[in-house]
Amino acid sequence: MQQASEAIIEFNNTGLSILEIGHRTPFFIEVMEEARALVKELMQLDDSYDVMFLQGGATTQFMQIPMNLLDSDETAAYCDDGVWGSKAIKEASLFGKADVVASSKDKGYTYLNKGFSVPSTAKYLHITSNNTVEGTQYFAAPDVSVPLVADLSSDIFSRQMDYSKYSLIYAGAQKNMGAAGVTVVIVKKDILGKIKRPIPAIMDYRKHIEAGSLMNTPPVFAVYVALLTLRWIKESGGLAEMERSSLEKSSLLYNTIDSLPVFTSKIAVEDRSRMNAVFFLNDSNLEAPFLDLCKKEGMVGVKGYRTVGGIRVSMYNALPLESVVAFTDLMKHFSVVSG
């Protein structure tokens, strides 16, 4: 935050603010190239992949992915595991057929359906790696024979895994990678250029790759903040350290939930998200007093999503363990005073 704020006044002794440098100048091209290289280094991806920094948020990718990968007479497979997967399915249906091969809607999205098969004719399988609203997370990539596409908006750079199993990964920056305003898209280049549909130039991944993500003016400041965050992840110990910290924080919180009778989690234990813990008070009448206590003690943003309710605690990379310790101490205190 300090480095980013200083760059607003003057960037790298150039006499210019990061907000006013030209995006095609060597100053910013160096930022973009280092950011792309760090993404591939942290994920251990080779040169068969390319990295784009785009605008429009991850929501734009709901339609940009099928626009680039799915013809109107073809089918893509989708997992419906929550609000974001459902939105992606609706958008894909505008470009071809979206076949829902797995859904956990039958139990209120409180688990992940893993025993599903994908037709070999499907152009790709799309999953939402972590469901921020519902509190579930995939801990292993589905083993499929078609290209795997994943929305990693809320758990990107939080753990070690074999990212080469994915053909396309996308993520809004605002959870684990930086400031809102830029979306990273990581794509295996050999899946592109296989559809008959003409693609508007600004929506064509190949055009963005050719232009080095400089086809139009990128969100310069957001990309710079992403670069600073990627450097921090690497300097802190990389994805191994992010995963260790994530496990420590989430284990503390879930162990506290399970140990206090006043609280309950409806999520299948094996699918509990390390990023977003969604839980409830067994007595719904205690929810308002608990949230009032959270507000009084400066515990910000813990009210559950409007369609789910309850409590939601987000534990992204930047959240220190001390914050989770403070919150679990508050939970224990409330459990005592509420009787």
The verdict on 274 and 169 lying in the same domain is no
Assess whether pLDDT exceeds 80 at residue 339.
no
| Number of compact structural domains in the chain | 2
Residue 175 annotated as catalytic: yes
pLDDT (0 to 100) of residue 276: 98
* 115 — pLDDT class (breaks 50, 70, 90): confident
Please answer whether residues 124 and 97 qualify as being in contact, where contact means their C-beta atoms are separated by less than 8 angstroms.
Answer: no
Nearest of 160, 158, 159, 104 to residue 133 by alpha carbon = 104
The verdict on 218 and 261 lying in the same domain is no
Q: What is the mean pLDDT of the chain?
A: 96
Mean pLDDT of all residues in 259-280: 97
DSSP-assigned states of every residue in 9-26: H-STTSSS-TTTS-TTSH
Instruction: Mark which of 219, 236, 253 sits at the end of a domain.
Output: 236
Instruction: Mark which of 183, 201, 236 sits at the end of a domain.
Output: 236
Mean pLDDT of all residues in 46-64: 97
DSSP-assigned states of every residue in 208-224: HHHTTT-SS---HHHHH
Q: What angle do CA 306, 268, 265 make, to 5 degrees?
A: 50
pLDDT (0 to 100) of residue 306: 87
Residue % of the chain over a pLDDT of 70:
100
Q: What is the pTM of this model?
A: 0.96
Assess whether pLDDT exceeds 90 at residue 307.
no
* 161 — pLDDT class (breaks 50, 70, 90): very high
Distance CA 177, CA 229 (A): 6
Please answer whether residues 81 and 134 qualify as being in contact, where contact means their C-beta atoms are separated by less than 8 angstroms.
Answer: yes
The active-site residue out of 81, 84, 123, 249 is: 84
Residue entry with tokens 């994530």 = 246
The verdict on 95 and 184 lying in the same domain is yes
* Domain of residue 313, CATH code: 3.90.1150.10
The active-site residue out of 151, 155, 204, 271 is: 151
Residue 329 annotated as catalytic: no
Mean pLDDT of all residues in 276-294: 96
Structure tokens at 201: 């130039």
The active-site residue out of 123, 155, 175, 188 is: 175
Phi and psi torsions of 35, nearest 5°: -65, -45
The verdict on 256 and 169 lying in the same domain is no
Instruction: Mark which of 236, 268, 285 sits at the end of a domain.
Output: 236
Structure tokens at 35: 């950011």
pLDDT (0 to 100) of residue 184: 98
